[in-house]
């Protein structure tokens, strides 16, 4: 019998390899997503999410804000313009070390951003996310 996960696919975009490893492992251990895909570069994530592989993808994106070259806000702007439209069907969780109210307000202004969480992920934050994804469209 197949496991019924709250989220089919979780994408994690974070420039810290340590944070990627810890977040991925936590999501797997808590059985939150059926598949976890990680990107240490927002440019790699844009390239992958814009490819035919993810053309019909839906999922939950965990996005760090503080990254070099392209920060999380720039990523959100660029991702909205992907030609396959996949990103526009995804829900985004800002997962960041920032606790700035201005960052939170700016992030939540993006249509597909559903919440803002300060690192690290916790059991409580994943439980809240389960409630948020259960209320909306399947992801």
Q: Domains in the chain and their CATH numbers?
A: 12-135 (3.40.50.2300)
Least confident of 13-17, 19-23, 51-55, 65-69: 51-55
Tell me whether the omega of the peptide bond preceding residue 120 falls within 30 degrees of 0, making it cis.
yes
pLDDT of residue 137: 54
What pLDDT is stored for residue 117 in this prediction? 94
pLDDT digits (tens, 9 = 90+) for 43-63: 999 999 888 887 777 789 999
Mean pLDDT of 61-80: 95
For residue 35, report the phi and psi dihedrals to the nearest 5 degrees: -140, 140
Answer whether residue 91 shows pLDDT above 90: yes
Q: Exposed (0-12), middle (13-18) or buried (19+): which is 107, by Cβ within 10 Å?
A: buried
pLDDT band per the 50, 70, 90 thresholds, residue 19: very high
Q: Does 1 have pLDDT greater than 60?
A: no
- Is the pLDDT score of 65 beyond 50? yes
Which helix H or strand E contains 24, and what residues bound it? helix 17-29
Instruction: Tell if the pTM clears 0.85, that is, is over it.
Output: yes
Beta strands in 15-123 (DSSP E): 33-39, 60-63, 91-96, 113-118
Q: Would residue 63 be called left, alpha or beta, if left means φ above 0 and alpha means ψ between -120 and 50 degrees?
A: beta
Between 40 and 8, name the one with better pLDDT: 40
Q: How far apart are CA 90 and CA 13, in angstroms?
A: 14
């Amino acid at each position: 019998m197949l496991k019924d996960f709250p989220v089919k696919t979780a994408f994690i975009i974070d420039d810290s390899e340590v944070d990627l490893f810890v977040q991925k492992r936590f999501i797997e251990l808590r059985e939150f997503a059926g598949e976890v895909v990680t990107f240490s570069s927002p440019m790699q994530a844009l390239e992958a999410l814009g490819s035919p592989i993810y053309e019909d993808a839906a999922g939950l994106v965990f996005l760090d804000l503080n990254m070099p070259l392209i920060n999380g806000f720039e990523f959100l702007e660029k991702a909205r313009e992907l030609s396959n439209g996949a990103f526009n069907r995804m829900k985004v969780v800002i997962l960041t070390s920032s606790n700035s109210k201005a960052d939170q307000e700016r992030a939540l202004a993006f249509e597909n951003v559903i919440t803002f969480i300060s690192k690290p992920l916790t059991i409580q934050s994943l439980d809240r996310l389960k409630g948020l994804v259960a209320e909306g469209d399947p992801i």
